[in-house]
Amino acid sequence: MKLSIRLAHISAAFTLAACAGSAGAQSAYPGKPIRLITPYAPGGGTSVVAHIVGQKLTESLSQPVLVDNRPGGNTIIGTEALAKSPPDGHTLILVISTFAIVPSLFPTPYDPIRDFAPVATLVNSDYVLVVHPSVPVKNLKELIALAKAKPRQLNYGSTGAGGVQHLAGESMNIMAGIKMQHIPYKGSGQLLPDLMGGHIQLSFQSPAASIPYIKNGKLKTIAMGGEKRLPALPEVPTFAEAGLPGFEVNTWFGILAPAGTAREIIDKLATEIARVMTSPDITGKLDSLGTYPFISSPEKFAALIKSDIARYAKIIKTAKVTTE
């Protein structure tokens, strides 16, 4: 009897110690700088959002959040780097909707569901169709007419084969009955100089990346891909208003951690992200960039990823999209 009582005391002591250790680990996080990978080159909309979020989380978590651009391999290089990172919450990745597209087009060294822990979504961005000023069109109808008159002579750039921008161009080809030529890049940092230099004629770009060049006249806007006009670009019509109803192009931004990251860390990150992304100074910056907060729980983000993987797989099959 005395032995069993003593064992019970020992068991209880170990349980309390484990709980204390867990609580200590949670309160100690983060214990060092956090690396925020973006699988794109510097200069694009993803980097802009990453730096905004990183700066606010640095203040909130009292540890530096350092943006690490890892472009290449159709986002696979940067994404694989996260999958191979320790699941301690000190390495994260900022992804966009392309994360749900890539597995349907390329063999990946990771499983998009099994190898990652969704943390939270951040913002949503409705893309803008921009053209070089030398393209002799003033609106979408004129652009479509020009593309019909010159099949495969209008080149549209994207930040990688199989991404949201690529699929947007192929969808527009189908819906408008035109044939624009796709030119893939490794990121907006390389694409935008070529677009402004007239080496390609058009691109679907995030407002965050394109608004400065729209404002200074280096790019012209044709239409934007949401259901309503953006406050930052009130003069730009939606595709429905411009004459192509049913056509939309947008993307979500979200944070992932490696699979196996402690739930306490995931919850702490999700709470801090929701708090900073809805703070007045952040929402003001997002408005100026043409994006808006899109906050969800880890569970809702996981469900969104699964549904988008299925949705984009269907689009790719129907439109016979290839990366060649």
Closest to 50 (Cα-Cα) out of 16, 95, 108, 15: 95
As to burial, measured by CB atoms within 10 angstroms (0-12 exposed, 13-18 middle, 19+ buried), residue 24 is: exposed
Q: Which tokens sit at 117?
A: 């822990």
Q: Sorting pLDDT into bands at 50, 70 and 90, what band is 27?
A: low
- The CA-based angle 283-284-287, given to 5 degrees, is 85
> Span 165-193, mean pLDDT?
90
Determine the Cα–Cα distance for residues 159 and 165; give it in Å rounded to an integer: 7
Number of structural domains, the chain?
A: 2
User: Do 115 and 89 fall into the same domain?
Assistant: yes
Determine the Cα–Cα distance for residues 188 and 178; give it in Å rounded to an integer: 24
Query: What is the residue range of 297's domain?
Result: 34-124+250-319
User: Do 145 and 120 fall into the same domain?
Assistant: no
Beginning with the edge strand found earlier in the chain, give each strand of the sheet holding 202-205 in spatial order.
Answer: 181-184, 155-158, 202-205, 128-131, 220-224
Residue 45 placed within a domain: yes
Q: What residue has token string 């803008």?
A: 128
Residue 151 placed within a domain: yes
Closest to 21 (Cα-Cα) out of 262, 260, 270, 258: 262
Of 55-64, 145-154, 164-173, give the lowest mean pLDDT range.
Answer: 164-173
Tell me the pLDDT tens digit for each residue of 228-274. 898 889 999 999 999 999 998 989 999 999 999 999 999 999 999 99
Tell me the pLDDT tens digit for each residue of 73-98. 889 999 999 999 999 999 999 999 99
Q: Are the beta carbons of 180 and 165 closer than 8 angstroms?
A: no
Which of 242, 277, 301 corresponds to the end of one domain?
A: 242
> Span 281-286, mean pLDDT?
84
Which of 185, 210, 242 corresponds to the end of one domain?
A: 242
Centre a 10 Å sphere on the Cβ of residue 95 and count the other Cβ atoms it contains.
28
> What mean pLDDT is reported for the chain?
89
Which domain CATH number covers 64?
A: 3.40.190.150
CA 106 from chain center: how many Å? 18
HEC readout, 63-92: CCEEEEECCCHHHHHHHHHHHCCCCCCCEE
* CB hemisphere CA count around 111 (13 angstroms): 5
Res 210 pLDDT > 50:
yes
More confident residue, 271 or 2: 271
Determine the Cα–Cα distance for residues 157 and 143; give it in Å rounded to an integer: 16
Q: Are the beta carbons of 137 and 146 closer than 8 angstroms?
A: yes
Of 109-118, 278-287, 297-306, give the lowest mean pLDDT range.
Answer: 278-287
User: Do 237 and 280 fall into the same domain?
Assistant: no
* CB hemisphere CA count around 324 (13 angstroms): 2
User: Do 166 and 178 fall into the same domain?
Assistant: yes
Residue 2 placed within a domain: no
Q: Which pLDDT value is given to residue 5? A: 41
User: Do 146 and 230 fall into the same domain?
Assistant: yes
> Span 194-221, mean pLDDT?
93
Which domain CATH number covers 153?
A: 3.40.190.10
Tell me the pLDDT tens digit for each residue of 104-150. 999 999 999 999 999 999 999 899 999 999 999 999 999 999 999 99
User: Do 200 and 303 fall into the same domain?
Assistant: no
The DSSP code for 102 is: G
Q: What residue has token string 């060294």?
A: 109
pTM of the model as a whole = 0.75
Q: Which pLDDT value is given to residue 72? A: 86
- The CA-based angle 179-185-187, given to 5 degrees, is 130
Res 23 pLDDT > 70:
no
Residue 18 placed within a domain: no
Q: Which pLDDT value is given to residue 22? A: 43
User: Do 159 and 238 fall into the same domain?
Assistant: yes
